[in-house]
Structure 1
Amino acid sequence: MRISAIETVAVSPAVRPELAVAGARGAHDRSDFLLVRVRTTGGVSGVGEVSATLLWSGEDAVTARHAIARALAPALLGQPLVPVAALERRMDRALAGSPFTKAGVATALWDAYARSLGVPLAVALGGPLRERVPVKCSLSGSGARLREVHAAALAAGFRAFKLKVGFDAGTDAVRLAHARELVGPDAFLGLDANGGYGRAEARRFLDLALEHRPAFLEQPVAPADLAGMRELRGLGVPIVADESVFGRDDLVSVIRAEAADVVSLYIGKSGGPGRLVEMAHLADAFGLEVVLGSNGELGLGAAAQIHAACASPGLSARIPSDIIGAHYYAHDVLEHPLALDGRMAGLDAFGAEPGLGVAPAAGVAAGFTPATSS
């Protein structure tokens, strides 16, 4: 079975304004994503999602479409579908960086592979190790805006949250106090600074934050400041590495520096679901917990997150993952939207369907066009 065609379609759904997230790195209120479909000579196809934003990796639907047409499609067309890992290596040789773009294509390849076997993607990835994954929702803003976002998250079913911080220690501490009041004294509430603090400011913020019992502090300092991350460990709050960890080499650096208690892995940052699960195995071998992070994935991306989370060892039992694709948009790209309740995301959302277990809506699927190198 060989790769016979690679097709793409751009989608730009607007984020529900009441849930739009604004953090220290900027706001995410629009998703200019690219969907990918891989066809094979055996009649099996697979789909994936390039959940990329210029803010995060310098990629979006425009850059992804160009890279797939000029580099990835020529490298993959005519190649055997199995093993998928060999196709991932071909993509690395054909295109530098661009992990989110490669992840969208890799997800489509893994989906096609799992469908060819007639098994769910979680099984093709070596699982499942669990059937369901707890999830949380990001809160941002202050005052009335924070109340609005929290109310919308509650209405969507969420009961676990993380607050975007990383601006100013004193102001963030006031916002944290407000958030704790909103969610209640016993609710799960973590913090995400998106690398916005310097070391001294991060320590000052932690001193102010501890009385509000945050469950974790994610990426308190700049991604490259692994020494600063290590200094903040052991101060009463688990430290989560997010922007510090894209690929395997980054994870190795974090492990060697003892810079985190938990790592946040993305389908996009890792370069696809297979590589995410590989990284989860490595993190688990060195005693690091894993959570699934989010770049605001749509339904296809959220489905991939669920399968990868259920196949990943070391998934944190104390910190919920960020699988929010079924809630973040008023209109999704799936034929049948994922039935998620805001508290758990599980394989039961897919029934007994093979692969990702989901398909693009007819109107979206009709927009796929062949990727070319012209």
Structure 2
Amino acid sequence: MRSASSRHRLLLLGLFGLLLVSCVVSLGFGSAPVPVEVVWRVLLFKVFGITPDTPAWSTGQEHIVWLIRVPRMLLAALVGGGLAMIGAVLQAVTRNPLADPHLLGVTSGATLGAVLVVLHIGELLGVLTLPLAAFIGALCSMLLVLAIASRHGRLDSDRLLLCGVAVAFVMMAAANLLLFLGDHRASSAVMFWMLGGLGLARWELLPIPAISVLLGLALLLGMARSLNALMAGEQTAVTLGLNARKVRLLAFLICSLLTGVLVAISGSIGFVGLMVPHIARRLVGAEHSRLLPVCLLLGSLFLIWVDVAARTLISPEDLPIGIATAAIGGLFFIGLMRRR
């Protein structure tokens, strides 16, 4: 037991160190490359106020690194880590290894709510309007899936997945209809957002997803034992005195809130919540107090480097990050199915 705990701590430290290195190195990539030593000096100057005797960077490089790439990198880390945690929790409460916010209709519901606000309602509540609309859409979508999938008060994982796919198609059809009926100039701008992107990253927008992800991690870690029991099966959970329905509802509520916030800022990014939990379970097993922090770190690492690829492959244009994650996710599961 002690050696397993030591290995887990070493793994967390290793992943955290790799994440820190990736955060710095990734800032140098883009349509305008910036040397790593310049990136490091700009960060030291901006974060700690350490000024070299002769600044070795231009104003343009400082602007690119600090005002454009650092917020984008931090948003990629938050979105990747958050989606990976959501996927792990949904796979536990549904007992379905294919569950993720994309396949269960949560992402599509959040997309519909956000498109409705952007094109037809407007920002009635200021900055909070878009995250709130995406959250309401995600929650309504998840509740609709649960209502359709439940039979005699019980949830079948296969039925839940099929209902999620069906509801996702309906929600995306409604979102596409709103796009068609809306202003075509605004619709073209929304299309890039629907495909997933981190171009909206700004320093003033980061506190909302940061607080949401950290609060979500704390709440889900507090539910770790309940999630372990649900993963073992509903009969086991009832034997342990667990109210499975209440735990499921709370988990779905937290996942809907997180998905709504992340989709409102980054658009629809699929397959992160599907892939990363499988990789994390191979490293630390299915015990959620260990699994969730590893999912957070792995998801952050994954999306940071996918974003690097997205902004360099067809430079100076940005490839929508949802396209890149979908391609990688599809190849990942083709390989997984061929092996198993």
Q: What is the TM-score when the length of structure 2 is the normalising length?
A: 0.25
Higher relative helix content: 2
Question: TM-score with structure 1 length normalisation?
Answer: 0.24
Query: RCO (CA 8 Å, sep 6+): is it higher in 1 or 2?
Result: 2
Larger % of strand: which? 1
